[in-house]
Amino acid sequence: MRVALTTTALVLSTALALTTPLGRLLAQSPGKPAGPGQPITLLSDVQQADAKTGIVTATGNVQIFYPARGITATSAQAQYFSQERRIVLTGNVFVYQEGGNSLRGEVVTYFVDEERMEAFPYSTQQVESVYVIEDAGDGEEDTEESPPAVVETIPDLP
């Protein structure tokens, strides 16, 4: 059975992690931990769901919101392959995570169970990733002033 959805919103309540580029950097996000039942909101001009194949396709001005991981993504098209548990974003893909991490490319594939991602560039460009990495000393500065050094005078010997 193939169902065409012309609604602009579809909430997928699954244990999907939309993007974790190159390991788990983007998966490490502030907020509540991701787990089963965490919603992903998918907005697009047109959405189709095929129950037989388990493929959900969204086209036109695709926006994805995954609050559990602080992630938003945009693309021209997104497909979720439920049997393979992978998400493919195509066409001017931009993924952003709270805190400043981002990824830009032409095609981004996320393998849900492996927490692995592959990104491919536009034909004449490169994939662009921006990672915010805090220095070990960032975050907390020592604002407490040290007490002045106490200098003892030694009495003169008789």
Q: Higher confidence at residue 139 or residue 39?
A: 39
Residue 38: closest CA among 68, 75, 62, 64:
68
Do the bridges between strand 86-97 and strand 55-66 make them parallel or antiparallel, or are there none, so unpaired?
A: unpaired
- Domain residue spans in the chain? 2-130
Give the model's confidence band at 114: pLDDT under 50 very low, under 70 low, under 90 confident, else very high: confident
Instruction: Write the DSSP symbol of residue 127.
Output: -
Instruction: Write the DSSP symbol of residue 68.
Output: G
Instruction: For 18-54, give one letter per residue: b (16+ CB within 10 A) or e.
Output: bbbbeeebbbebeeeebeeebebebbbebbbbeeeee
**CATH number assigned to the domain with residue range 2-130, chosen from the 4 options 2.130.10, 2.60.450, 1.25.40, 1.10.1060:** 2.60.450
Provide mean pLDDT across the span 127-136: 89
pLDDT in the model for residue 74: 97
pLDDT in the model for residue 44: 97
pLDDT in the model for residue 18: 34
Q: Reduced to 3 states, what is the DSSP secondary structure of residue 67? A: helix
pLDDT in the model for residue 138: 57
Q: Which of 94-103, 107-116, 148-157 has the highest mean pLDDT?
A: 94-103
Write the pLDDT tens digit of every residue in 44-74: 999 999 999 999 999 999 999 988 878 899 9
Q: What is the reported pTM?
A: 0.64
